[in-house]
Copies of this chain bind each other. A is one copy, B any other.
Amino acid sequence: MEHVVYVVGHKNPDTDSVCSAIAFAYLWNKWKEGGNVAKMMKIEAEAKPVIQGDVNPETKYVLEKFGFEVPEIMTNGEGKKVALVDHSEKAQTVDGIDKAEVVAIVDHHKIGDVTTPQPILFVNLPVGCTATVIKLLFDKTGVEIPKDIAGILLSSILSDTVIFKSATTTELDKEVAEELAKIAGIDDLTKFGVEIKAKLSAVDDLTAMDIIKRDYKDFDMSGKKVGVGQIELVDLSLIESRIDEIYEAMKKMKEEGGYAGIFLMLTDIMKEGTELLVVTDYPEVVEKAFGKKLEGKSVWLDGVMSRKKQVVPPLEKAFAEL
C-alpha cells in the first residue's frame, strides 16, 4: 500500500468539501510530527487532498484568493488509504471504498454507512459545516491555523451556511467563523460571504437551460411528472433581464417532457425568500401549496429557501388534492 493518505470530500464537490480536504490534510501532516494524536495512532503516511470532480466557480475563486492549487481528481480509492471529509456515505464517496483503507472520517452530516474493520478517528458534529469541525480539531489538538487555511475554512462556513442563513447554522459556526476571520484578516463577514456567493450567482455566461438545470430534480406527484429547480442568487436583479427567456425555455421543456408543471426557485439568499417561476396546467396548486395566488409568471414566497423542506412537500400535497 502507498504511503499516502488521500483526503477526499464527497462527489460533486462544493467549497466545504474541497477546502476541508485541504485543511484536514494540512492538520494530519502536523499531527504526524507529534503531539496527542500521535500518542493514539501511528501516523506514518503523508496526507494529500484530492477531489472527486471539477470544482465550481465559487470554490475556484476561494482557492485562488487564498493561494491554493485546485487538488487533483481521484475517483477510485481501491488499494489506497483514504480519509473522508464532509461525508460518511458509500454513495457519496470514491469508488472501490470497500477495498480502500479508511483511516479517518470528519463530517457534519447524518451518520452514513461506511464501516471499518479497525478502530479509526471519526469525528462528526451536528454543526453547519465540516470546516467548523476541522477548526475545532486544530484548536483541541493544539495546532496553529495558518492565515491561508483560516481563509478557506472561513469561506467554507460562509458558503455552506449560506452566510449563516441556512437552518443548519449553529451558534458554534458563527463563533468559529469570527475567530477564523480574525486570523485570515477579513473584517466584514457578510460582505465577504456575498463576494463568495456571487460567484455562483454569475448567470451571464449561462444559457436559460443551464440556469434551470443548475440544481434540478424530477418528481412524481400523485402520478404527475413535476420538475423543481433552484438557483441561489445574492440578488434577484442579477437574473431579472433573463426571466422571459427562462420562462420560454421552461414552457418548451414542459411540452417536450410531458410535465404537469415546472417550478423554478429563484432564491434570494440575502432577502431570504424565493421568486417561484411557474409553468403548469394546474396553476391552482400554487395557492393550495403556498397560500398565494399565481398571477403572471411567478410568485414571491417570503422566507422560503429550501426546496426539500419548504417547496416539495406542500407541492406534493397540493397535487394529491387536485
CB neighbours of A172 from chain B (8 A):
36, 39-40
> Judging by beta carbons under 8 Å apart, are B126 and A117 in contact?
no
Contact status of A121 and B113, CB under 8 A, knowing A40-B170, A172-B36, A172-B39: no
Of A104-112, A178-186, A270-278, A304-312, the one touching chain B: A104-112
Interface string of A85-129 (1 = CB under 8 A from B): 000000000000000001001001111111111111111111100
> Judging by beta carbons under 8 Å apart, are A41 and B126 in contact?
yes
CB neighbours of A124 from chain B (8 A):
119-123
> Judging by beta carbons under 8 Å apart, are B115 and A125 in contact?
no
Q: How many copies does the complex hold?
A: 2
Contact partner, A122, options B39, B117, B122, B127, Cβ 8 Å: B122
A64 at interface, CB cutoff 8 A: no
Once bound together, how far apart are the Cα atoms of A109 and B39, in whole Å? 17
A140 at interface, CB cutoff 8 A: yes
Please give the distance in Å from A172's CB to the nearest CB on chain B.
Answer: 4
> Judging by beta carbons under 8 Å apart, are B170 and A126 in contact?
no
Please give the distance in Å from A287's CB to the nearest CB on chain B.
Answer: 32
Once bound together, how far apart are the Cα atoms of A109 and B127, in whole Å? 24
Closest B-chain residue to A112, C-beta based?
B115
Once bound together, how far apart are the Cα atoms of A232 and B189, in whole Å? 60
Please give the distance in Å from A279's CB to the nearest CB on chain B.
Answer: 34
Q: A40-B170, A110-B117, A123-B124 are in contact. List 4 more A-B contacts (CB 8 A).
A: A39-B175, A110-B116, A111-B114, A119-B124
A residues with a Cβ closer than 8 A to B are 36, 39-41, 102, 105, 108-127, 140, 168, 170-173, 175
